[in-house]
Structure 1
Amino acid sequence: MNKQQPIGVLDSGVGGLSVLKCLHQLLPHEDFIYVGDTARTPYGTRTEKEIRGFVGEIIDWLAAQSVKQIVIACNTLTMLGVDSLRGEHEFSVVGMSKGEELLLQASKKKKIGVIATQFTIGTEAHKRALLAADPAAEVYPLACPRFVPLIEGEQFDSAELQDAIAEYAAPLRKAGVDALLLGCTHFPFIREQLEAELGAGVKVIDPAAATSAKAIAELEAEGLLRTEGAGRVDVCCTADLARVERLAARMLPAQDCSFRLIELSKK
């Protein structure tokens, strides 16, 4: 591998664009290839066997594009274990940060909410990480299955989205949380609406920056970090290209991006 090779970023849909935004800002010299499996999203309600099969196809496809690293910009996939997902590939694979240090720093009352997909919440991984870091913390995990379809469907100004936000915010307010982790990479798309519903007393944490820091550290350790040139972003998806372009425009500078449809079975 060499410095000039691109970095792969993957997700079940468009959510990982929020992580790609952070990576591109911090690594402006790097080329990125993003894959969103929009034909089969959401993953959060699928079986582990199905999810592993899908992500294996994406990683194999990115390997064929000669990536030097893969960032799994999806909490659901990260819960499966990045080492098990890497398989026989030589490049490093970086999963989503659980954000426990950021949450504990942000929470004065040590009452912390975690919102994510059903699959991610079911693993209790975030809760375990928080309690390992501070056994006195009170953790309130909450599955929010309505969010991903609404975000993927661009329903940002809909009554349905506002109703879902109000539904999920209610138990968090009742619990008295003062810090909240966005445990799904789709959720930064509605961060401002969540913050408005929860109020100024709740600090909302996006783990994208901590995830990007891990990716950068891996590249530096391997001598693969690019420090010159202008990087490009190749956004790939498996369906609904026009919709992906519109959603990407909410996160990324259009002048740095190209877009295309791909078939994962074709390497």
Structure 2
Amino acid sequence: MNEAPVGVFDSGVGGLSVLREIRQLLPTESLLYVADSGFVPYGEKPPELICQRSRAIAEFLLAQGAKALVLACNTATAAAVADLRAHFPVPIIGMEPAVKPATLATRSGVVGVLATTGTLRSARFAALLDRFAGSVKVVTQPCPGLVECVERGELSGPQVNALLARYTQPLLEAGCDTLILGCTHYPFLRPALRQLLPSHVHLVDTGAAVARQLRARLAELDALAQGPAQPTRLWSSGDATALERVLPLLWEGNATAESLSV
């Protein structure tokens, strides 16, 4: 079981930001990745559909021999992680916006959240605020359009900059000095955000924390791989050639994408 792969999935290419963190922390692990690009973005979809898609992709990855699953998507975690844990016996790692580290990092007492509508509306996110926000003011901002930009490989330029300026302006006006990137697509927009935001604004995401949690769970089960890792395999439920076109921007090394019909 130790040398079995880890399965990771997201609504599209955003989860590659988490996959990069996993590969950096756990270089001996073989990795499988599914981009559910035929249904991107999850953030505007009904929770029932996201749960259905998540279960179907989980079954596919387990059929490929995955020893653990990572939901590299805040929206999918909110909608489906409890269902997946109830149905499948392997470790299942979800993710959620970095409310706790952001509230510890802020000096102004105001934290901004950039996320999808689905994440911000979820009961899981509301519970995060109740648990960790305390006296910190948390200002949320849904960001329609950003996921689609990243899916196209559009990480900078007039359209991206205009959207980022529109979404960050109310957060800056509210006094936030810490900004949570609450969608796995958004870390790919860090360079554009850094050019746009004042230097004192701190950006926070949870990709590295998810990788550490995966390592901890595998260690508990004595299931860490010794390596060497097999080449990463990637599938897309949408246009696999479109995924291959953006891979050079989002993923280091040579990789090809296979079509997935689930």
Is contact 2:54–2:80 with CA below 8 Å preserved after alignment? no
Whether the 8 Å CA contact 2:100–2:133 is kept in 1: the answer is no
Matches within 5 A, 1:1-267: 2-123=1-122, 125-126=124-125, 128-255=127-254, 257-264=255-262
Aligned-partner SS, 1:113: strand
CA contact 1:116–1:144 (8 Å) conserved in 2: yes
Please give the per-residue CA displacement for 1:175-212, whole angstroms capped at 9, x wherever unaligned.
11011111000111111111221221110012101111
Q: Name the CA distance, whole Å, in 2 between partners of 1:168 and 1:86.
A: 34
Bigger mean CA offset, 95-104 vs 193-202: 95-104
CA distance in 2, matches of 1:244, 1:224: 31
- Deviation (angstroms), 1:231: 4.1
CA deviation digits over 1:28-56, x for unaligned, max 9?
10101100011121111111111111111
**Which residue identity does 1:180 align to in structure 2?**
L
CA distance in structure 2 between the partners assigned to 1:3 and 1:208 by the alignment: 23
Question: Counting helix residues as a fraction of each chain, which structure ranks higher?
Answer: 2
1-structure distance, mates of 2:168, 2:97: 21
Aligned-partner Cα distance in 1 for 2:87–2:77: 17
- TM-score normalized by structure 2? 0.94
More divergent stretch after superposition (83-92 vs 205-214): 83-92
Report the Cα distance in structure 2 between the residues aligned to 1:122 and 1:41, rounded to whole angstroms.
18
In 2, the alpha carbon distance for the partners of 1:86 and 1:252 equals 29
Partner Cα separation in structure 1 for residue 121 and residue 238 of structure 2: 28
Displacement of 1:232 after TM fit?
Answer: 2.5
Gaps of 5+ in 2: none
SS of equivalent residue, structure 2 residue 87: coil
Task: Give deviations 1:62-98, integer Å, cap 9, x for gaps.
Answer: 1111100000000001112523123422111100143
In the TM superposition, structure 1's runs of 4+ consecutive aligned residues that sit over 6 Å from their partners are none
- Counterpart Cα distance in 1 of 2:10 and 2:17: 10
Take 2:85 and 2:261, find their aligned partners in 1: how far apart are those partners? 20
For residues 172 and 123 of structure 2, what CA distance do their matches in structure 1 show?
21
The question of whether the paired residues in 2 share the 8 Å contact of 1:130 and 1:137 is answered with: no
Counterparts of 1:3 and 1:173, CA distance in 2: 47
Equivalent residues, number: 262
1:51 counterpart SS class:
helix
Q: Distance in 2 between matches of 1:211 and 1:228?
A: 21
**Partner SS state of residue 188, structure 2:** helix
Partner Cα distance (1:135, 1:94) in 2? 26
Quote how far apart the aligned CAs of 1:127 are. 5.3
Shift of 1:128: 3.8
